[in-house]
Amino acid sequence: MQIYKAVVIMFLCEIGIVLSNGEELQLPLSIEEEFNQELHHPNELNTNQVRLISESNNLSTDGYDVYPGQFPYHAIVNIKNDREASTTVTSGSLITPNYILTCALGLHKHENTYGFVELGYRYRADRERQQVIDFTRSGINIHPQFTGGSLNNIATIRLEHPVTLNRYVHPIRLPRLSDNRTFEMMEGTAPGRQYNGTMRYLRNQIMSNDDCLMNKQFICTNAYIGGAFCNRMYGAGLVVEDESGPILIGLTNLIYSCSLNNSILYMRLSLLRDWIANSSNYVFDF
């Protein structure tokens, strides 16, 4: 256990984690600054991106190309404020025509936060399928118990106007109120950043919380079954498929370097259904 904690402290790209005993570990400011630098990108992403795969890790991967319409719920979230010239780029999921579900980190630091989301996204030059919609500070709802760490790292964004529904832009469903599955051993899919001009994604097996030594508020995925994804984005949805189609079960919360094979952590959305219902116009099925 001591070795595990040491690895977390050295390589964590978040501000804090929660161990299986419920204790939240806060990291030094230098780690937080590194995380903020990772989130901030210019408006135009570099399509001639340097290869990210780690030469020392055979499991590291840039992921698979996304085809048009594969992730119609996926949103690129561009966050601005009056104090900084840069744009924070993260991601989220469309859960109704009016609402995006995303992580709170990046939205909580400044009072006058605003921005825009891009949907129908495969690559930035793909304007024909893309919808760009603004949001303002009044449309941001952050979980009241979020303090800047990993716990309750969730927010909703109300768009200035509804999306136009089509095969490239469409909401995703969340777990039913009666759905008590942990999703262990199922295959979870998460989209990520673009690489060489197109968005990428990866599939990994979902682990038990006992195996990844994490609080039940999180879902963990196994890099040893699926690979260590080098293009992950904070806030990206973790999705599983059942007989009724895709279900959004998690939000990307904690990312490690793909030179490591550590578990990736996601907020478990089934434990946050009441808050989501009260913070959006999503209506859960029973």
pLDDT at 45 over 50: no
Domain locations along the chain: 74-171
Average pLDDT, stretch 36-44? 40
pLDDT at 31 over 80: no
Average pLDDT, stretch 151-174? 97
pLDDT at 268 over 90: yes
Q: Classify domain 74-171 at the CATH topology level.
A: Thrombin, subunit H (2.40.10)
pLDDT score for 30? 32
According to DSSP, the β-strands at 155-158 and 99-102 are antiparallel
pLDDT at 125 over 80: no
pLDDT score for 161? 98
Contacts with 100 (C-beta within 8 Å, 6 or more apart), sequence order: 75, 77, 92, 93, 94, 117, 135, 156, 157, 159
Neighbours of 98 (CB within 10 A): 20
Average pLDDT, stretch 258-268? 91
Neighbours of 66 (CB within 10 A): 19
pLDDT at 136 over 90: yes
CA distance 10 to 255: 13
pLDDT score for 157? 99
End-to-end CA distance of the chain: 40
Contact 179, 270 (CB under 8 A): yes
Between 116 and 194, the more confident residue is 116
pLDDT at 2 over 60: no
In this predicted structure, which of 35-39, 133-137, 178-182, 277-281 has the lowest mean pLDDT? Answer: 35-39
Average pLDDT, stretch 130-156? 95
Report residue 149's pLDDT band, with 50, 70 and 90 as the boundaries: confident
Averaged pLDDT score across all residues of the chain: 82
pLDDT score for 13? 34
pLDDT score for 259? 86
pLDDT score for 274? 97
Q: Which phi and psi angles does 275 have, rounded to 5°? A: -65, -45
pLDDT score for 53? 54
CA distance 193 to 215: 27
Cα angle: 183, vertex 186, 189; to 5 degrees: 100
